[in-house]
Copies of this chain bind each other. A is one copy, B any other.
Amino acid sequence: MALYEQLADRMAQHIRDRVLKPGERLPSVRKASRSSRVSPSTVIQAYALLEEGGFIEARPRSGYYVRATHFRHPPEPELSKPSKKTVTVDVSELVFSVLDSTRDRGIVPFGSAFPSPLLFPFDKLARGLASSMRRIDPWSTVTSLPSGHEELRRLIALRYANDGMNIGAREVVVTSGALEALNLCLQAVTRPGDIVAIESPAFYAALQAIERLGLKALEIPTHPQCGVSLPGLEQALQNANVKACWLMTNFQNPLGSLMPDGNKAKLVELLARYNVPLIEDDVYGELYFGERKPLPAKAFDREGLIMHCSSFSKCLAPGYRVGWVAAGRFAEKVERLKLMTTLSASIPPQAAIAEFIQHGGYDRHLRKLRRALAAQKDVMIQAIGREFPKGTRITHPQGGYLLWVELPGSINTLEVHRLALERGISVAPGPIFSAKREYTNCLRLNYGHIWSEQAEEAIAILGKIASSPV
């Protein structure tokens, strides 16, 4: 056996024994050459062999990392089966009490809705803040109100165009994060008492908005791989007077499901037939692990019925609170609602983001972020597979940073949440994702944080809690 083969074998064994852990960075060629007392070229050959064998992967300009794909994915949850009644929503207090508990820095943030801020280019954005604002025409701070920073709107339209979508800058209204966009859209197309169709499980902010505006929620069965059930939705449209849909077509929160293009086209066609607008929450679209960026349903829209909402909060600039909506035929209505409620989004963060998109290497940053999240996903799934009780089901998301975990037996995840918190770990319990507080045996876990010993231990502790039905 050649020297480089011996070295590769030894390292493969380390990986199988988890001496080298999934996601971990291998020593640099120079370092490995010194510590193993072989030439750099031997190390390079060994690493190439390991890469071929699927043990490690190269990340451009960053080095070699232990791959995390050498495992059988645990089974996934099945299509959800929510009850068919519309309900008045009353889940806000529960959501608040859970969210409040996740804000402490000392807590392991599996329950958080945000990825790690350490994955974002804060310094570069900060430089963009100053330079763009020094160049800005002071008058634009008045004239850019309320639709948003002109250049940013143009760049957003350009990115739509790059995805083959024809959306003018004038249709784009910049908002205080996607959450404001979603709320304005919902207000634009509903009145108190109206029925809104949502996924099941659903993003809790949708539930809260429905509650706050005195609307009723109709939960539609949703598949962890391909998203909302179209037959389920059609049945709802036939049987109930649905006034709007609020759906996440790409990497749904909490399931991580991704509607196939074909389904999206059918969804748009179905909604056009019933003349029901769609509020499309697409905040995770940029965080895909596959070859190509998934299209939103908006790409198939011919009637102006789709209100496409997104933001830079999850993919570039957390805390900057810059989102937008392309609201089709409702664009003017949304803009006016915005003018009445918050007037306009803050100008400096918009200018900084426009600067970054043009000169900061936005696409390069996105590639790096996607790779990091994909690797972290694999590591967390493996850890859960090891530590959680038999019968646990885990989603297999193709993007985003959220896992949905279905525990076996008659466990109550509100109780798991409470016990985990006592041990310094936050989780998002299933019932906060349902108007009827269903999914009592489910958890949403966030893998958007850099993996650590502490995370490893936290999964083990959660596994123990989940193994003792409460």
Measuring CB to CB, which residues of chain A are less than 8 angstroms from any residue of chain B?
92, 96, 99, 103, 105, 112, 114, 117-118, 120, 122-123, 125-127, 129-131, 133-134, 136, 138-145, 175-177, 179-180, 183, 192, 205, 208-209, 212, 214, 318-322, 336-337, 339-349, 352
Known A141-B319, A347-B319: A136·B122 in contact at CB below 8 Å: yes
**This chain: how many copies in the complex?**
2
Which applies to chain A's interface (DSSP): helix, strand, loop or mixed? helix
Nearest B residue (CB) for A123: B134
The contact of A103 among B122, B143, B336, by CB within 8 Å, is B143
**A212: min CB distance to chain B, Å:** 6
Would you give 23 A-B contacts (Cβ < 8 Å), ordered by A? A99-B339, A105-B143, A117-B138, A122-B136, A122-B138, A125-B133, A126-B136, A126-B348, A127-B130, A130-B131, A141-B320, A145-B319, A176-B342, A179-B340, A183-B342, A192-B192, A212-B337, A319-B348, A321-B345, A322-B346, A346-B349, A348-B348, A348-B352
The contact of A321 among B96, B99, B134, B343, by CB within 8 Å, is B343
The contact of A120 among B138, B145, B205, by CB within 8 Å, is B138
Chain B residues with Cβ under 8 A from A320's Cβ?
141, 346-348
**A262: min CB distance to chain B, Å:** 34
Complex CA distance for A105 and B141, rounded to whole angstroms:
12
**A406: min CB distance to chain B, Å:** 27
The contact of A183 among B192, B209, B341, by CB within 8 Å, is B341
Chain B residues with Cβ under 8 A from A183's Cβ?
340-342
Nearest B residue (CB) for A104: B143
**A147: min CB distance to chain B, Å:** 10
Chain B residues with Cβ under 8 A from A140's Cβ?
319
Chain B residues with Cβ under 8 A from A319's Cβ?
140-142, 144-145, 344, 346-348
Chain B residues with Cβ under 8 A from A192's Cβ?
192, 214
Known A117-B141, A122-B138: A209·B342 in contact at CB below 8 Å: no
Contact A142 B129 (CB under 8 A): no
Nearest B residue (CB) for A127: B130
**A175: min CB distance to chain B, Å:** 8
The contact of A114 among B142, B179, B321, B342, by CB within 8 Å, is B142
Contact A179 B337 (CB under 8 A): no
Known A176-B345, A212-B340, A349-B349: A133·B141 in contact at CB below 8 Å: no
Contact A117 B133 (CB under 8 A): no
Chain B residues with Cβ under 8 A from A347's Cβ?
319-321
Contact B176 A92 (CB under 8 A): no
